[in-house]
Amino acid sequence: MNGRTFHVLETWTLLFPLHHHTLHTFHTTLPNCKHLTFEGYPLNILNGTSARNLADLSVMCTTTYKPRGNQQLVRFSSQALRDNQLAPQNLHISIEATDQAWIRALASMSNLEELVIDNAQPSSLGVKVLQSFVVHPVQTDSLGTTATSEGWNTPVCPSLKRFGLRYRRWLRSSEHFDLIPEFKSIIRTRRLSGFYLQNFRIWTSIDPMYPLELITGLAISFEGFERLERYCAIKRN
C-alpha cells in the first residue's frame, strides 16, 4: 500500500504491522475511506495515512506500558489528528496513558462528534482529564467577576455530542470511585453553555453489554446516576 492512493476503498482494517522498518517511510492516501480500524503498536503508521473523509476511526494500542502509551498518544493526536491527515467524526480509542498526555491529546480533537475511551480500569482516566471537558464562565474583569451564561470558555472537544467511557475492569473492594461529581459537572455546564452532550455512557464489567446512560434529553439522568452509585456501593460492601 505504500505510496499508493486507493480511491475505491471505504473500509480498512490494519492489524499489528509486522515490518517495522516501513513505519518511517509509509504513506498511503484513502480519499473515500469512511471506516478505519487499527490494532497494534506502535501507532506511527497512522501518521502516514491520509483519510480526510472518515466517519469512524477505531484505534487500539496494544502496549500496556504508560510511558510508551504517552508517547504514542501525543504523537498520534499532534500529527495525524491535528494536521487533519485523519479527520474522523467518531473516535473510539484504547490506550493506556497518563492524565497529562490525555489533556495534551484532547486539544487536537476539536472536530470530534463522538469520543469513546476504552480504559483498563476507572483509575486509568483521572479527575484532571475529566475537568478539561467542563465549561467555565469567562472572567470579565480583574476582580474575578464571571460572566453570565452568555460568556463561556471553549472546552476541549467543543463539537462533542456523544461521550463514552468503557471500563474493562470495574472497582475492587479497596477502591473508591470519585468521578461522579465530575460527570455531573460536565453534563450541566455543557448544557448551560451550549456545548451540550446528547449521550454520556459508561460501560462497566458489571453489565458490559448495556451501558449506563447518564443523560436524559440534554440533562442529567437521575436513573443513570442512581445505578452508577449502586454499582459503587456494591463494591464498597
Whether the pLDDT of residue 225 is over 80: the answer is yes
Provide, rounded to the nearest whole percent, the portion of the chain with pLDDT above 70.
Answer: 90
Q: How confident is the model at residue 140 (pLDDT cuts 50, 70, 90)?
A: low
Residues 6+ apart with CB under 8 A from 39: 13, 14, 15, 16, 60, 62
Mean pLDDT of the 58-76 span: 92
What cell does 141 get?
Answer: 474583569
pLDDT at 44: 84
Whether the pLDDT of residue 149 is over 80: the answer is no
